[in-house]
Chain A
Amino acid sequence: MSLIDRVAQELSRLPGIGPKTALRLVYHLMKRPREDAVRLSQAIRELADRIRPCKRCGNFSEGELCLVCADHGRNASVICVVEEAYEVGAIERTGQYQGLYHVLGGHLSPLDGIGPHELNLQGLLDRISSSDGGVQEIIVATNASVEGEATAVYLEHVVRPLGPRVTRLARGIPVGSDLEYVDGSTIAEALTGRREM
């Protein structure tokens, strides 16, 4: 296999990149100055070497602890539980949340052989127990999918006996969208979860 094909094949394993796009990216890299490609490869190399899961919460991290866990200004009495580490970024970008996180690394899916033991769950229970009542609220931010819901129910079941209150992200109409184009089950959810004005 030619070197060009080899790089293209590696690229085409990335999500959303087919064989044609991969080839186009390779040709593009070869047309640019050499330093561009070297810089990219170095960044990828460093990423692979240095990023690892945070020891406490499972978030992407360059050290033992991620930037959130290492920040003493954060509110340690609230933990927001997400399925994947990249979802931490989505919540962080809102700038609205001051608490900590916990990354499960997926959701319950028995059809794929994923049960509670395959998730980073025990870590969460340990964090709660060892805080001696310091953790007062668990916000369950798993996805609104069938699997995310089941995972939320399971979490609630195992967390509540340890003391903290368990809350779930509200669901409803996406901001900026026309009601006409929102699907029926979302509208139904939003109706059930309506609030006083």
Chain B
Amino acid sequence: MRLSELQVRHFRNLAGQELDLPAEGVAIVGENAQGKTNLLEAIYYLETFRSFRAARDERLVSFGQEFFRVAGVLMEDGAGGVVGGGELVEVAAAFRARGKRKKVTLNGQEPQRLGDGLGRVCAVVFSPADVALVSEGPGGRRRFLDIVLSLNVPGYLPALQRFRHVLGQRNAALRDGRRLEAVHAWDQGLVESGGLVMEERLRWVERWAGEFSSHYRRISGVQPAVLRYQPGVKLGGARDREGIAAAFKEALGETRDRERRLGATVVGPQRDDLILTVTEAGEARDLREYGSGGQRRTAALALRLVEAATIREARRQEPIVLMDDVLAELDPGRSERVMALMEEEETGQVLLTAPKESDVRLRRDSLPRWRIRNGMVEC
């Protein structure tokens, strides 16, 4: 898929501009705080209708303005995988600060639900902040899984929403100290929706763990790393939805006393995690606790590469790669190898940002350069 046109208005420091994007992509060069990341953020907003930097919509409206609007024209890949050879899709999103009104359109039509508009822009963001995926708590890794699966697996998002809803009700019943039956009335809904969530997470990790390891090895040069799913329920070998739901139900039964005491459900996908380890001197070490900066960055990059591969497989589109100054913090050896890997793996459009001209190393010969200053792009 390719982004061929982009319109931005009042988005952070981007006052307003219409851009025609080159098919192969572009390198956006500019000092810090000129709007490089904001531009990538605006593009990715069209994929999830939220900020990838977890900023609230109100914060995205330019200072002193009442609304922002982002619109993109996308060229889908055609039959036989011709990048950009398929249909044209226009995706637009606008947000008005007063009343917090968000409006999304696909080819000028408002979809029935906002969720129906999700995932039309097949893009992946590589950001220096991704290192937090590896180094911080499990919440970020669950969020990563939820975004990837919501965008790529039909039915995942509704199941996740249902699960969260039931979990909230069940926890409230536990906090009230209601009769046992009033708590267990929620169990069926919890294990059904939660079983589907866990099944899809497990399936995704099993599908891509091998690829994760090989990406990690290619970038790091030597070490193998392992990606593993750690479910928040003892699955005991269960793999399909029914088996997982049954294991979940059993686990609920075993934790009755504890959850009453704590006033919260203590087993379930809300306790899931992804475990990332490297093997050193024959011993598996958790990157979250023992990893070096370079190892953690490498693991985060490998996760994003797997995200791109998921899009390629599930949506049959070559993802648009948005790279936010991501090589800067890697050592020279690793960044060379990342570049080589990207050249090989990512054959689609690449939009990358860098603070200096000399930092643009990826595809340096072919990628056009734009400069950005004060929120204005000079093509």
User: Interface of A with B (CB < 8 Å)?
Assistant: 108-111, 113, 115-116, 146-147, 149-151, 153-154, 157-158, 184-185
The chain B residue sitting closest to A154, CB to CB, is B185
Contact A115 B173 (CB under 8 A): yes
Expressed in whole angstroms, the minimum distance between the Cβ of A65 and any Cβ of chain B is: 30
* Residues of chain B in range 118-157 having any CB-CB distance to chain A below 8 Å: 154-155
Expressed in whole angstroms, the minimum distance between the Cβ of B107 and any Cβ of chain A is: 18
Expressed in whole angstroms, the minimum distance between the Cβ of B75 and any Cβ of chain A is: 26
Q: Are A153 and B185 CB-contacts (below 8 A) given A110-B178, A115-B176, A185-B158?
A: yes
How far is it, in angstroms, between the C-alpha of A113 and the C-alpha of B181 when the chains are bound? 16
What 1/0 flags go to B166-184 for Cβ under 8 Å of A?
1011101101101101101
Contact B169 A110 (CB under 8 A): yes
Contact B155 A184 (CB under 8 A): yes
Kindly identify which residue among A109, A149, A158 contacts B188, using a CB–CB cutoff of 8 Å. Answer: A149
Q: Are A184 and B154 CB-contacts (below 8 A) given A110-B176, A111-B168, A146-B165?
A: yes
Q: Is B16 an interface residue (CB 8 A)?
A: no
Contact B179 A146 (CB under 8 A): no
How far is it, in angstroms, between the C-alpha of A146 and the C-alpha of B189 when the chains are bound? 7
A residues near B217, Cβ cutoff 8 Å: none
Q: Is B239 an interface residue (CB 8 A)?
A: no
The chain A residue sitting closest to B171, CB to CB, is A110
A residues near B176, Cβ cutoff 8 Å: 110, 113, 115
The chain B residue sitting closest to A116, CB to CB, is B182
B residues near A111, Cβ cutoff 8 Å: 168-169, 172
Expressed in whole angstroms, the minimum distance between the Cβ of B334 and any Cβ of chain A is: 42
* Residues of chain B in range 173-214 having any CB-CB distance to chain A below 8 Å: 173, 175-176, 178-179, 181-182, 184-189
| Seed contacts A108-B169, A115-B182, A153-B184; 16 additional CB < 8 Å A-B pairs | A108-B182, A109-B169, A110-B178, A110-B182, A111-B168, A111-B172, A115-B176, A115-B178, A116-B181, A146-B166, A146-B189, A147-B169, A150-B186, A151-B185, A154-B185, A157-B184
Contact B189 A154 (CB under 8 A): no
The chain B residue sitting closest to A181, CB to CB, is B112
Most buried by A among B154, B178, B182: B182
The total of chain B residues at the interface (CB under 8 A) is: 23
Report whether over half of chain B's contact residues are helix, strand or loop; otherwise say mixed. Answer: helix
How far is it, in angstroms, between the C-alpha of A184 and the C-alpha of B153 when the chains are bound? 12
Report whether over half of chain A's contact residues are helix, strand or loop; otherwise say mixed. Answer: helix
How far is it, in angstroms, between the C-alpha of A110 and the C-alpha of B179 when the chains are bound? 12
Expressed in whole angstroms, the minimum distance between the Cβ of A119 and any Cβ of chain B is: 11
B residues near A116, Cβ cutoff 8 Å: 178-179, 181-182
How far is it, in angstroms, between the C-alpha of A147 and the C-alpha of B172 when the chains are bound? 13
Contact A146 B185 (CB under 8 A): no
Q: Is B162 an interface residue (CB 8 A)?
A: yes
A residues near B172, Cβ cutoff 8 Å: 110-111
Kindly identify which residue among A110, A149, A157 contacts B181, using a CB–CB cutoff of 8 Å. Answer: A157
The chain A residue sitting closest to B192, CB to CB, is A149
Q: Are A150 and B169 CB-contacts (below 8 A) given A110-B176, A185-B155?
A: yes
The chain A residue sitting closest to B181, CB to CB, is A157
* Residues of chain B in range 302-356 having any CB-CB distance to chain A below 8 Å: none
* Between-chain CB contacts (< 8 Å), 15 pairs: A108-B185, A110-B169, A110-B176, A110-B178, A110-B182, A115-B173, A146-B189, A150-B188, A150-B189, A153-B184, A154-B181, A157-B181, A157-B184, A184-B155, A185-B158
How far is it, in angstroms, between the C-alpha of A147 and the C-alpha of B166 when the chains are bound? 8
Contact B188 A153 (CB under 8 A): yes
A residues near B169, Cβ cutoff 8 Å: 108-111, 146-147, 150
A residues near B185, Cβ cutoff 8 Å: 108, 150-151, 153-154, 157
How far is it, in angstroms, between the C-alpha of A146 and the C-alpha of B170 when the chains are bound? 11
A residues near B175, Cβ cutoff 8 Å: 110
How far is it, in angstroms, between the C-alpha of A147 and the C-alpha of B189 when the chains are bound? 9
A residues near B155, Cβ cutoff 8 Å: 184-185
Most buried by B among A115, A146, A149: A146
How far is it, in angstroms, between the C-alpha of A185 and the C-alpha of B168 when the chains are bound? 21
Q: Give the top 8 A-B pairs by smallest Cβ distance, nearest first.
A: A110-B172, A154-B185, A110-B173, A150-B185, A153-B185, A111-B172, A150-B186, A157-B181
Expressed in whole angstroms, the minimum distance between the Cβ of A106 and any Cβ of chain B is: 13
